[in-house]
């Protein structure tokens, strides 16, 4: 264990914009349950230009950082080492400071997605669909590399995005096919659908949800439920939410930063739900 309950340690989430982040709520809930009363977790509005200076000023009391956009790729040249998982998608969302002062980057989004699916009983599927082709879609593809044994179809809006997804497929050694967004309603018949698009993008697809849907993983959490998730649930399909993802990736961050195991998943989820209800 890197630190005990009496050691004053710091952690924070960085990004821009950052005011909406639930990370402080989740991490503080974990600290409370683990008895880490002298640990603190804050948020800082930091963009790519300000990141090097911020890192340079951190003292030995710092245990780690959570990173959101636009810093997940910008931080990589500033680190001493990154994990294979982070390197696979060229994105770091977690930085841990070692005892000897090294900066080590990891990506907990990918194993967080896998953990969120397993929590719903999804260990393996024979095919899957991804809605969207942004940064989150590459993490979704990396997660599917661990749970999908067959073809993955990504529904995208442009040939440029399609080419990007095919490149990620080659890099991750995943069988992927791309299709036009106009055919996205076909995605809803897959055993597992991962929606990675911004709020409102999938609303029009709600009317196309089949009568017996399988599993939807919608990475959004505010507003929730999305129109697609609401219809999916109404028809009896399993739904994994963006909050589930946020909680599970935060659990892994807390483990890495504090050295503790048995991080309280439900306490973190409950804290996140209360915070969203209060908005």
Q: Which residues are catalytic?
A: 72
Q: Output DSSP code: residue 38.
A: T
> Cα dist. 265→30, 164, 224, 271 in Å?
8, 34, 20, 10
Instruction: Check if the beta carbon of residue 264 is closer than 8 Å to that of residue 27.
Output: no
Rounded alpha-carbon distances, angstroms, from residue 89 to 54, 120, 160, 237: 24, 25, 18, 30
**Cβ pair 42, 58 in contact under 8 A:** no
Record the tokens describing residue 89, joined without a space.
Answer: 């998608």
Task: Residue 56: count other Cβ atoms within 10 Å of its Cβ.
Answer: 8
Cβ partners under 8 Å of residue 61, min gap 6? 8, 9, 10
């Amino acid at each position: 264990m890197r630190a005990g309950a009496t050691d004053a340690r710091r952690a924070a989430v960085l990004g821009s914009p950052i005011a909406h982040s639930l990370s402080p709520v989740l991490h503080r809930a974990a600290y409370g349950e683990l008895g880490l009363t002298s640990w603190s977790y804050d948020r800082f509005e930091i963009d790519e230009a300000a990141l090097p200076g911020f890192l340079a000023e951190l003292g030995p009391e710092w245990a780690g950082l959570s990173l959101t956009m636009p810093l997940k790729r910008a931080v990589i040249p500033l680190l001493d080492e990154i994990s294979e998982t982070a390197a696979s998608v060229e994105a770091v969302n977690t930085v841990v400071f070692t005892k000897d002062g090294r900066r080590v980057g990891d990506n907990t989004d990918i194993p967080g997605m896998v953990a969120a699916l397993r929590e719903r009983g999804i260990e393996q599927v024979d095919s899957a669909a991804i809605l969207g082709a942004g940064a989150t879609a590459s993490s979704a593809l990396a997660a599917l590399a661990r749970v999908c044994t067959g073809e993955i179809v990504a529904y995208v809006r442009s040939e440029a995005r399609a080419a990007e997804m095919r490149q990620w497929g080659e890099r991750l050694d995943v069988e992927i096919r791309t299709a036009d967004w106009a055919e996205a309603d076909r995605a809803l018949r897959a055993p597992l659908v991962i929606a990675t698009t911004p709020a409102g993008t999938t609303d029009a697809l709600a009317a196309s949800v089949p009568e017996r849907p399988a599993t939807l993983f919608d990475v959004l959490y505010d507003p929730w439920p999305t129109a697609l998730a609401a219809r999916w649930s109404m028809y009896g399909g399993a739904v994994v939410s963006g909050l589930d993802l946020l909680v599970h990736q935060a659990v892994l961050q807390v483990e890495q930063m504090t050295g503790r195991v048995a991080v309280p998943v439900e306490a973190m989820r409950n804290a996140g739900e209360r915070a969203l209800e209060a908005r």
